[in-house]
Amino acid sequence: MRAREFLSEKVLSKFELLKHDKKYAKILLSKAKNGPVDIDPSKKNIYGDQVILSPATIKNLEDFIMGKDLFDNPTFIINNEETPGKWSALHKGPDFSNRYNPYGREQGQIQSLDSLFKDKLNNDKFLRLTVGDRVVEAFGLRKSPEGVKSDLEILGENEQPIAWISLKHGTEPKHFGQWSGITEFSLHPEVKGFADQIKSKVVNQGETYPKKITYGTKINDQKLKSQACFGKDYGSKQRGINNVDLILQGQPVIEKSSNNTYKITADRMWINGNIPSENYEPILIVRFASDRSNYGIPGARISIYPTQGRPWVDINQVPEKETNKNIQTTQTQSSNIQNQNLNKIELPPENS
* Residue where a domain terminates, one of 54, 70, 96: 96
* Residue 95: band (very low, low, confident or very high) from pLDDT cuts 50, 70, 90: low
226 pLDDT higher than 60: yes
Summarised one tens digit per residue, pLDDT across range 30-73 is 778 777 888 988 899 999 989 999 999 999 998 888 888 999 99
Assess whether 144 and 197 both reside in one domain. yes
Summarised one tens digit per residue, pLDDT across range 135-162 is 999 999 999 888 899 999 999 998 899 9
171 within some domain: yes
339 within some domain: no
Mean pLDDT across the chain: 83
Assess whether 82 and 126 both reside in one domain. no
Alpha-carbon gap, residue 198 to 349, rounded angstroms: 50
Geometric angle at alpha carbon 38, from 36 and 40, rounded to 5°: 155
Among 18-22, 203-207, 266-270, 348-352, name the one with the lowest average pLDDT. 348-352
* Residue where a domain terminates, one of 72, 96, 120: 96
332 within some domain: no
166 within some domain: yes
180 pLDDT higher than 90: yes
Assess whether 9 and 36 both reside in one domain. yes
Assess whether 54 and 111 both reside in one domain. no
324 within some domain: no
330 within some domain: no
345 pLDDT higher than 80: no
Assess whether 158 and 9 both reside in one domain. no
Q: How many domains does the chain have?
A: 2
Assess whether 66 and 138 both reside in one domain. no
Most confidently modeled range among 143-147, 213-217, 259-263: 213-217
Assess whether 7 and 150 both reside in one domain. no
161 forms bridges with which residues in the sheet?
155
337 forms bridges with which residues in the sheet?
none
Neighbours of 10 (CB within 10 A): 12
Assess whether 232 and 85 both reside in one domain. no
228 pLDDT higher than 60: yes
Task: Provide the percentage of residues in the chain whose pLDDT is more than 70.
Answer: 84
Assess whether 139 and 272 both reside in one domain. yes
Assess whether 89 and 110 both reside in one domain. no
Tell me the mean pLDDT in the region 213-227: 97
* Residue 173: band (very low, low, confident or very high) from pLDDT cuts 50, 70, 90: very high
CB burial string 245-262: b at 16+ within 10 A, e below = bbbbbbebbbeeeeeeeb
**pTM score, whole prediction:** 0.63
Summarised one tens digit per residue, pLDDT across range 278-316 is 999 999 999 998 888 999 999 999 999 999 999 999 999
Under 8 Å between Cβ of 178 and 260: no
* Residue where a domain terminates, one of 96, 125, 145: 96
Alpha-carbon gap, residue 152 to 167, rounded angstroms: 8
Tell me the mean pLDDT in the region 102-107: 52
Q: Rounded to an integer, what is the distance from CA 72 to the centroid of its chain?
A: 29
Alpha-carbon gap, residue 163 to 275, rounded angstroms: 19
Kindly report the backbone phi and psi dihedral angles of residue 31, in degrees, each rounded to the nearest multiple of 5, phi listed first. Answer: -65, -45
338 within some domain: no
Please report, as a single letter, which amino acid is at residue 115: S
* Residue 9: band (very low, low, confident or very high) from pLDDT cuts 50, 70, 90: very low
* Full residue range of the structural domain in which residue 292 is found: 105-317
Assess whether 22 and 79 both reside in one domain. yes
335 within some domain: no
Assess whether 148 and 258 both reside in one domain. yes
**pLDDT confidence of residue 322:** 62
Q: Between 107 and 194, where is the model more confident?
A: 194
**pLDDT confidence of residue 244:** 97
